[in-house]
């Protein structure tokens, strides 16, 4: 793009800024709107709610940032979350039936969750890399598979966590540390780890390289397939972490759990300035993206000026506008 390059050069700086601050600007604007809409928005209660809620999508989106940066996509995260929660509950209930409900059971559940997450991620990664099937299709397939499996396990209904176990597990979602709810802390931890991994390690750099040009990466002795599979496994683990803090919230899972989370996660990633075509990812942007999405929902609940029916419209517009703030920035990535 020669002449584009010319302009490109100046653009770059310009857009890089926009890409960096864009999401934050959007967040701040939303924040102000929130305040205008309803005083209650600023109440600590409400703000903690927003943070805590955003941690599900947020943690998943951190994983998605890796997948997308490396040029992939994962549509299965939502149903994966449902599937993992379902299995966790079944496992913990079976244990609870055999032994005294205790911390051990919860740990067993957590362990199982991480195991399942990595496995599910590996399946996606393996099919994409070794099976050479487009990620979109692989994960579209597994999306349907996981969801129907959980419906099957739940026998069409809802899987409820054993009361005893629940009481032990409950604090993981509801308690907090110096006023900061555990989910938020976990989210923060995941984000920081993600940031370091993506920006400070060889693995992260290889993700960028693969996303930007797979062949060049392969020629530079980068283990393309391994790295790509790893990003999916990472995504799976993030999903499992999200479920670990999700299950104690309502102590239940069903075929409905996590519907459309995949789209929310991807939206969060893109709003955050990551390039969908791969080669450029931003963890902090993703975090902000997740906050934005949660905040939209929250604000809509705090007002009744807009008909409920129009929530989707408002969300849609905000998402598009938020990305519009970074317009052009992804263009030259072609």
Partner 1 sequence: MPTTMASPSTIETALVANNICKSFGPNEVLHGVSLNVVAGEVHALLGENGAGKSTLVKILSGFEAPSSGALVYEGRDVHWSSAEAENSGVILIHQEFNLAEQLTVEESIFLGREITKGPFLDKVRMRTLAQGYLQALDCYADPSARIHDLAVADKQMVELAKATSRNARVLILDEPTAVLTGKETKVLFELIRRLRAQGVAIIYISHKLEEIEEIADRITILRDGTLVGNYDANELTKDDMARLMVGRELSDLYPHILTPPEDAEIVLEVDNLKIPGVIFNASFSLKKGEILGFAGLVGAGRTALMEAIIGLTQNVSGEVRVFGKPVAYKDLSEARDDGVAYLTKDRKEKGLLLTHGLCPNFSLFSLQKFSNLLIDETAERKAFEAASKVFDLRVGDMSVPAGSLSGGNQQKLLLAKVMEVAPQIVIIDEPTRGIDVGTKSQIYQFIKELAEAGRSVILISSEMTEIIGLSHRVAVMCNGTLSGILQGADLEEHEIMRYASGLKGNGKYE
Partner 2 sequence: EKFTIGVSIPTATHGWTGGVNYHAKETKKRLETTYPDLKIVLVTAADPTAQANDLEDLVSVHKIDALVILPTDGGPLTDPIRQVKESGALITVVDRALTDDTIQDIYVAGNNPELGAVSAKYIKKALGGKGDIVVLRGMPIVIDEERFDAFMEGIEGSEINVLDHKHANWNRDDGFTVMQDFLARFPKIDAVWAQDDDIALGVIEAVKQAGREEEMFIVGGAGMKDIIKRVMDGDRLTPVDVLYPPSMISTAMEITALKAVTGAPLKGTYIVGSPLITQENAKDYYFPKSPF
Ligand X SMILES: Nc1ncnc2c1ncn2[C@@H]1O[C@H](COP(=O)(O)OP(=O)(O)OP(=O)(O)O)[C@@H](O)[C@H]1O
Q: 3-state DSSP: the chain helix, strand, coil percent, rounded to 5?
A: 80, 5, 20
Which residues 169-208 are close enough to bind partner 2 by CB under 8 A?
Answer: 170, 174
Least distance (Å) from a second copy to the CB of residue 10? 15
Q: Binding to a second copy by residue 147, rule CB under 8 A?
A: yes
CB-nearer residue toward partner 2: 100 or 155: 155
Q: What would the x/- binding string for a second copy be over residues 246 to 275, using CB under 8 A?
A: ---------x-------x--xx--xx----
Closer CB to partner 2, 40 or 193, in the complex: 40
Specify the residue, 202 or 305, whose C-beta has the smaller distance to partner 1: 202
**What are the C-alpha distances in Å from 328 to residues 57, 62, 236?**
26, 23, 31
Single out the residue of 94, 201, 256, 303 in contact with partner 1 (rule: CB under 8 A).
Answer: 201
Among 138, 268, 288, 299, binds a second copy (CB under 8 A): 138
Q: Are 316 and 17 in contact (CB under 8 A)?
A: no
Binding ligand X by CB under 6 A: which of 9, 119, 310, 320? 9
Segment interacting with a second copy (CB under 8 A) among 100-108, 148-156, 199-207, 233-241? 148-156
Polymer length of the chain: 334
Which of 38, 176, 199, 213 is in the footprint of partner 2 by CB under 8 A? 38
Considering beta carbons, is residue 20 or 48 the nearer one to a second copy?
Answer: 20
Query: Cβ neighbours of residue 306 under 8 Å, at least 6 residues apart?
Result: 300, 314
CB of 213 to partner 1, least distance (A): 4
3-class DSSP assignment, residue 40:
helix
Cα–Cα dist 118/125, whole Å:
10
The answer to whether residue 9 forms part of the interface with a second copy (CB under 8 A) is no
Residues 257-286 interacting with partner 1 (rule: CB under 8 A): 275, 279-280
Site string for partner 1, 207-246 (x = CB under 8 A): -xx-xxx-xxxxxxxxx-----------------------
CA 61 to chain centroid, in Å, comes to 2
Closest Cα partner for 315 from 297, 301, 303? 297
- Nearest residue to ligand X on Cβ basis: 2
Q: Interacting stretch for partner 2, rule CB under 8 A, among 34-42, 98-106, 132-140, 206-214?
A: 34-42
Q: Does 304 bind partner 2 (CB under 8 A)?
A: yes
Neighbouring C-alpha atoms within 13 Å toward the C-beta of 304: 0
- CA 81 – CA 53 distance, rounded (Å): 15
Q: Half-sphere exposure of 291 toward its Cβ, with a 13 Å CA cutoff?
A: 24
CB closer to partner 2 out of 3 and 309: 309
Q: Is 107 exposed, middle or buried (0-12, 13-18, 19+ CB in 10 A)?
A: exposed
Strand partners, 180: 177
Interface residues with ligand X (CB under 6 A)?
2-3, 5-6, 9
């Amino acid at each position: 793009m020669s002449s584009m390059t010319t302009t490109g050069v100046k653009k770059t700086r310009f857009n890089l800024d926009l890409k960096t601050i864009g999401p934050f600007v959007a967040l701040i604007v939303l924040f102000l709107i929130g305040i205008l809409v309803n005083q209650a928005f600023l109440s600590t209660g409400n703000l903690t709610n927003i943070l805590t809620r955003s941690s599900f999508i947020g943690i998943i989106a951190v994983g998605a940032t890796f997948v997308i940066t490396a040029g992939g996509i994962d549509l299965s995260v939502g149903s994966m979350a449902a599937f993992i929660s379902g299995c966790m509950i079944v496992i913990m209930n079976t244990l609870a039936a055999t032994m005294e409900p205790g911390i051990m059971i919860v740990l067993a559940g957590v362990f199982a969750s991480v195991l399942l997450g990595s496995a599910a991620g590996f399946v996606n990664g393996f099919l994409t890399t070794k099976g050479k099937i487009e990620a979109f299709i692989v994960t579209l397939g597994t999306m349907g598979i996981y969801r129907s499996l959980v419906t099957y396990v739940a026998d069409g209904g809802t899987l409820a966590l054993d009361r005893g176990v629940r009481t032990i597990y409950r604090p993981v979602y509801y308690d907090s540390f110096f006023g900061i709810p555990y989910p938020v802390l976990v989210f923060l931890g995941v984000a920081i780890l993600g940031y370091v991994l993506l920006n400070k390690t060889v693995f992260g750099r290889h993700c960028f390289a693969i996303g930007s040009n797979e062949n060049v990466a392969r020629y530079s002795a980068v283990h393309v397939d391994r790295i790509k599979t790893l990003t999916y496994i990472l995504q799976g683990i993030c999903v499992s972490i999200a479920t670990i803090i999700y299950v104690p919230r309502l102590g239940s899972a069903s075929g409905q759990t996590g519907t459309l989370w995949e789209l929310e996660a991807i939206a969060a990633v893109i709003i955050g300035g990551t390039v969908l075509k791969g080669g450029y990812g931003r963890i902090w942007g993703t975090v902000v993206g997740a906050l934005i999405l949660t905040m939209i929902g929250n604000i809509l609940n705090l007002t009744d000026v807009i008909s409920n029916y129009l929530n989707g419209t408002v969300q849609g517009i905000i998402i598009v506008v938020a990305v519009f703030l970074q317009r052009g920035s992804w263009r030259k990535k072609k």
